[in-house]
Chains A and B, each alone.
Chain A
């Protein structure tokens, strides 16, 4: 069992809110505008923000879930979801022990990590050719 499986009661965020959420939403809106105007990708590192207890969960509720979600298995799982605001993606990366190692909001049409990487495509092609050669020999 890892730490995140331990049940923790989240207290009402409003009691402790230090005003981070509104500032964060304004920043997201600014980055979305920038992406629409100049095709500039943006991202926000959630690990670096000092959330008060409960604010993180409240942000999850505020952004919600949109139409797309992706699960990646690469040195532990990653969950990538498009929020209810198209172009705003929430990428949460876990290690093999299930702890969060990176947690970002990405403002883009599709997060880079979802794409097949060119080095992996080349490796995959080699594997496919090797398999075809094996079949020919058989």
Chain B
């Protein structure tokens, strides 16, 4: 990577017009929930920005996060990622292997010490000295600690690196933990989701490059622009919840009418993510629009939060709660959310599992 290489120069080398870049920035502004008019300002800033070096480490993970990223619907996202940053190490995407690959990481760390971005997907096993996941003979813990030392900031990509994810689910045989349990002296941004919405990763990078700092984060270290509201708040089925209209099974009249999936176990009320507006598969839909409740995959311990098909609150009384919610508005809504969180925590401690009856419900 050339230290003086700016994004504008890179675009010019590739014959990408400024108009094309303006269009790309319009997409970025949309995904970052910035005013659409901000696209011009973003474009002007980004073209002058020096591209930072980035190192991507994969630990206990399924590669779903990288799959999500490379299947992104944003305009030529793969190109954009390589344009916005200099991705100097990524085990799945890089051509180099073996000693050559490790050397490119070491070179980037040395040359851009204190300036490079570190992206991590996967959790880190700590049990038995971290032997359950090693790369090139070194434990994930060892590599993370070494690479994190020279990083300007760390982006934890996916629920595993953000909160532990499925490897951390009970009984957590490898002693898996998230990045934030190990690294305490670096800014960490959690881009949770299983997998995370790819444009969120893009948006975080664009924000970092445009404003020179990480975006505002919520209490779980996630960017507020994407995780600031719950799925429930942005769900197009929310009015049915407020009216007390619920699907009772996946094939009843309520389901066919598109009513709320709360009683079928939807975790939308306690889940913060951008699925309801950003959507998946090229903006086609998101799980609730396809008729299935939200699993809550962007929240900590979602795998241990009880059955995916068990309602968050007592199934026999949501109508009363909903009726009151119409009258009392946000106050009751907040109470329901607190009750739901308590229920989830209880389920987590009791480690409920799904039953055949749940699935047939």
- Which residues of A approach B to under 8 Å, CB–CB? 2-4, 16, 18-19, 41-45, 47-53, 72, 74-76, 78, 91, 93, 95-97, 99-104, 106, 112-113, 116-120, 123
Contacts and interface: CB of A to CB of B under 8 A. Distances in A.
B258 A95 contact: no
Q: How large is the interface on B (under 10, 10 to 19, 20 to 34, 35 or more residues)?
A: 35 or more
A106 B24 CA distance: 16
Interface string B251-273: 00000001000000000000000
Contacts of A19: 239
A32 B159 CA distance: 43
Contact of A120 (B18, B36, B235, B277): B18
B236 A50 contact: yes
A102 B23 contact: yes
A47 B278 contact: yes
Contacts of B33: 45, 48
Nearest to B279: A47
Among A3, A43, A51, A75, residue most surrounded by chain B Cβ atoms (within 10 Å): A75
Interface stretch (B101-109, B126-134, B280-288, B316-324): B280-288
B76 interface: yes
Given A3-B282, A53-B258, A120-B17, A113 B76 contact: no
Contact of A102 (B16, B18, B30, B281): B30
A117 B21 CA distance: 10
Contact of A113 (B19, B35, B289): B19
A134 B197 CA distance: 49
Nearest to B8: A119
Contact of B236 (A41, A48, A51, A76): A51
Interface string B1-41: 00000001000100011111011101101110101110110
B73 interface: yes
Given A75-B16, A93-B23, A117-B17, A99 B282 contact: yes
Nearest to B31: A47
B17 A106 contact: no
Contacts, number: 112
A2 B282 contact: yes
| Chain B binding surface, main DSSP class | helix
Those 6 A-B pairs whose CB atoms lie nearest each other, nearest first:
A99-B282, A74-B20, A43-B36, A117-B18, A119-B18, A95-B75
B68 interface: no
B175 to A, nearest CB: 40
Given A41-B37, A99-B73, A4 B26 contact: no
Nearest to A20: B236
B90 interface: no
B74 interface: yes
A125 B18 CA distance: 14
Contacts of B37: 41-43
A104 B29 CA distance: 11
Given A44-B36, A76-B75, A106-B36, A3 B23 contact: no
Among A4, A48, A103, residue most surrounded by chain B Cβ atoms (within 10 Å): A48
Among B36, B37, B238, B284, residue most surrounded by chain A Cβ atoms (within 10 Å): B36
Contacts of A96: 75-76
B276 interface: yes
A19 B30 CA distance: 22
A16 B258 CA distance: 8
B73 A97 contact: yes
Contacts of A41: 37
A39 to B, nearest CB: 13
9 contacts: A3-B282, A50-B236, A50-B238, A51-B236, A102-B30, A103-B30, A104-B30, A112-B22, A113-B22
A93 B236 contact: no
B278 A117 contact: no
Interface in B73-129: 73-76
B40 A112 contact: yes
Contacts of B277: 47-50
Contacts of B283: 47, 99-101
A102 B26 contact: yes
Nearest to A91: B26
Contacts of A119: 8, 18, 47
